[in-house]
Homo-oligomer: A and B are copies of this chain.
Amino acid sequence: MNPTIDLLKSHRSIRKFTDQAVSDELLREIVSAGQAAATSSNVQAVTVIQVNNPDTRDSMAELAGGQTWVKEAGAFTVWCADLRRSGAACASAGGQFEEGMTEHFLIATVDVGLAAQNAVIAAESMGLGICYIGGLRNNPAKVSELLALPDQVYPVFGLCLGYPAQDPDIKPRLSVDAVLMQDTYSENQFDKHFDDYNERLGHYYQTRTGGTKVSQWTDEMKKLVGKESRPHMRSFLDDKGFKMR
């Protein structure tokens, strides 16, 4: 419909980058565009930590399950949900931070999602490629230690940014009819959508991998939500002051 929507729809994760650095000026502009996203009650509960130290980047690549692009990307950043700063602001106005509310956890986490995605669009509009690194949550306690994160701050994900050295295909998504519903939730069409998507995704994998990867979405979901996932998250968050009450 327009070049911005074309840009949005052309997203794919990039995991190979050229040696070209991402300038400080550009990264600031990207983070600044991230800040322009909506934020719940203006809390701005986002802190971005750029990781420059090569040893730290090595450690994080390993913690994330051997994602070498964490150390190779032009820039690597960790996006943190941060209630520490608003808590300090509250204290400076004579208040006392109310620790552990689930709602506060939620608004901080959503704030990070909105800001990061704005930043990603800014980056991609400048010709950069990106890759979110949820794998940091494999060991969020170690990540927090490496970044000296205090209580009330947790790493939601990492984000690699850099100039692409690959041009992968765009991964197909579920049909828009599967995710956009009218007035009430309906699961009547689930089976139809699963069949359709299994077929399209299978075709994508075949084309992309020359047929070596054969996987269906339903099987992928079985692996993802059919078993425990990062069972340490709850106690980690609890330790960090996100008590979910």
Residues of chain A at the chain B interface (Cβ within 8 Å): 1-5, 7-11, 13, 27-29, 31-33, 35-38, 40-44, 46-53, 56, 80, 83-90, 92-98, 101-104, 106-107, 109-110, 112-114, 116-118, 120-122, 125-126, 130, 132, 134, 137, 147-150, 153, 156-157, 170-171, 173-174, 176, 178-185, 187, 190-191, 194, 216-222, 224-231, 233-234, 237, 244-245
Are A7 and B4 within 8 A (Cβ)?
yes
Instruction: State which of B32, B101, B157 has its C-beta within 8 Å of the C-beta of A229.
Output: B101
Chain B contacts of A1 at CB under 8 A? 29, 126
When distances are taken between beta carbons in the complex, the residues of chain B under 8 Å from A229 are 98, 101, 103-104
Contact residues in B for A106 (Cβ distance below 8 Å):
109, 137, 156, 233
* B residues less than 8 Å from A42 (CB atoms): 171, 217, 220
Contacts of A234 in B (CB 8 A): 102, 244-245
Known contacts: A95-B226, A181-B47, A222-B93. The answer to whether A187 contacts B84 by CB under 8 A is yes
Please determine whether A225 and B90 come into contact, CB atoms closer than 8 angstroms.
Answer: yes
- Listed by A's residue number, 30 A-B pairs whose Cβ atoms lie within 8 Å are A1-B29, A1-B126, A3-B3, A4-B4, A4-B121, A4-B125, A5-B29, A11-B36, A31-B176, A32-B176, A43-B221, A48-B180, A51-B183, A80-B185, A86-B225, A88-B190, A89-B190, A89-B194, A90-B221, A90-B224, A93-B216, A93-B219, A93-B221, A98-B225, A101-B228, A106-B109, A109-B109, A117-B118, A231-B245, A234-B245
Known: A40-B134, A49-B181, A49-B184. 9 other contacts (CB 8 A): A1-B29, A5-B29, A35-B174, A84-B187, A89-B221, A101-B230, A113-B114, A113-B117, A149-B185
> Bound state CA distance, A196 and B160, in angstroms?
31
Taking the nearest CB of chain B, how far is it from the CB of A201, in angstroms?
Answer: 8
Query: A50-B182, A116-B114 known; A103 and B187 CB under 8 Å?
Result: no
A122's partner among B5, B43, B101 (CB-CB below 8 A) is B5
Within 8 Å CB of A93, what residues of B? Answer: 216, 218-219, 221-222, 226
Are B225 and A43 in contact, with the CB atoms below 8 A? yes
The answer on a CB contact under 8 Å between B92 and A38 is no
